[in-house]
Amino acid sequence: MQQSLLEGIDPEIMDEVVSRRDLFRRGASMSRMVAQGLAMGSVPVALAALAKDAFGQAPADVLDVLNFAFILENLENEFYKAVLGTSALAAQNNAFTTVRALIPASARESLGQIQKHEQQHVDFLKAVIPQFGGTPAAMSAADFDFTGGNGSGTGPFARATTELNFLLVATQAFEDTGVRAYKGQAGRLLINGNNNADIALESALRIHSVEARHAAKIRRIRRGINPTDTTLRLSGYVRGGGAAAAGAGNIANPPAEVVAALNAIYGGATSESNTQHVVFNGTSAVTIDAATLSNLDVIGDSTARTNAATQAFDEPLTKDEVIAIVRNFIKDDAARGLP
């Protein structure tokens, strides 16, 4: 794959790429802006300058992924601000007044830390996208409907504004959607021999693992409130797939649309319950079933081994799957660049 990609490139361009890289290594091509960025310890400035120095323009795939991530990060950020009562829009804050009073102080502090990261992700992407030749979508608190009603304000997730368990399921589902979305897009950033893509990929992976930390913490908060629900692993894992993997048993009579959403969030073409994974060993692609490996006896019986095999791998969602999940939370999808 890599070879064919590189072989397909004009040798003169390759020479240019290589010489630029050599310059890079020596630091000779480091522009004043990169140097200033590094000196200030400002990663976005240095990163952005570096990207521009290298090629000026990122491949369309990289920009598309960054724009997509920007929309998702705005959704998460504005959601937490509304929950915590720090949204710029009073109506969003007011919607969550009832449930806000039910959140324990310790969990509120944890949600505050998560919101801080989502804001940082928004700011980071906003700073980086223009340097890759793009324009970040203009988004504000008014663009979102956290009830999943596509603007009606009365969608199937409306109970998240009044019930703590419901709110936390929705929060966990947002985070796990984020984890799965980044995982699904990482491959599009893998463009060997492209500095821009390398930098975007590393940043995406580093944001991806932060989202996983958030999801793990929400699960632990939920388990603390519902100590007997062992679906909510204290290790923060996703065990199994579909709505069952959400651990939504503590919600009375969940609306069918919410169950369907959770099925989509923890299911999909590659469900979280998947145990078959493909590796390319340099010669051929090999599918390995993680549930039937050797030397698993210490784990226990076949149920224990299957549980371990599903929780040991988080799975991706495709871009289309993610869009189908989030579209009802974002008003005027088409205008937001969503199909």
Length of the chain: 339
Q: Contact at 8 Å (CB) between 231 and 247? A: yes
Q: Is 192 in the site for another protein (CB under 8 A)?
A: yes
CB of 187 to another protein, least distance (A): 4
CB of 122 to another protein, least distance (A): 9
Q: What's the Cα-to-Cα distance from 99 to each of 82, 204, 331, rounded to whole Å?
A: 11, 32, 23
Q: Which of 39, 91, 312, 335 binds another protein (CB under 8 A)?
A: 312
**Binding span for another protein by CB under 8 A among 150-158, 164-172, 279-287, 319-327:** 279-287
Sign, CA dihedral 251-257-259-264, equals negative
Q: Which of 100, 117, 159, 222 binds another protein (CB under 8 A)?
A: 117
Which positions from 36 through 65 interact with another protein, judged by CB under 8 A?
43-44
For another protein, the closer of residues 107 and 258 by Cβ is 107
CB of 34 to another protein, least distance (A): 12
Which residues are 141's β-sheet partners?
Answer: none
Which residues are 285's β-sheet partners?
Answer: 280
276 phi, psi to nearest 5 deg: -100, 125
CB of 256 to another protein, least distance (A): 29
| Nearest-10 crossing angle of helices 256-266, 319-326 | 160
**Binding span for another protein by CB under 8 A among 60-68, 88-96, 116-124, 145-153:** 116-124
Q: Is 26 in the site for another protein (CB under 8 A)?
A: no
Which positions from 226 through 255 interact with another protein, judged by CB under 8 A?
230, 233-237
Q: Left if phi > 0, otherwise alpha if psi is -120 to 50, otherwise beta: which for 235?
A: alpha
| Nearest-10 crossing angle of helices 256-266, 164-185 | 30
For another protein, the closer of residues 215 and 248 by Cβ is 215
Q: Which of 309, 322, 323, 325 binds another protein (CB under 8 A)?
A: 309
CB of 123 to another protein, least distance (A): 7
* CA dist., res. 44 & res. 38, Å (int): 9
* Binding track, positions 258-277, relative to another protein; x by CB under 8 A: -------------------x
**Binding span for another protein by CB under 8 A among 82-90, 140-148, 181-189, 331-339:** 181-189
* Binding track, positions 281-300, relative to another protein; x by CB under 8 A: xx--xx-x-x--xxxxxxxx
CB atoms closer than 10 angstroms to residue 324: 14
Q: Is 186 in the site for another protein (CB under 8 A)?
A: yes
Q: Is 201 in the site for another protein (CB under 8 A)?
A: yes
Q: Is 3 in the site for another protein (CB under 8 A)?
A: yes
Which positions from 81 through 110 interact with another protein, judged by CB under 8 A?
106-107, 109-110
Which positions from 316 through 335 interact with another protein, judged by CB under 8 A?
316
For another protein, the closer of residues 198 and 333 by Cβ is 198
* CA dist., res. 198 & res. 20, Å (int): 15
Q: Contact at 8 Å (CB) between 192 and 5? A: yes
CA 63 to chain centre: 16
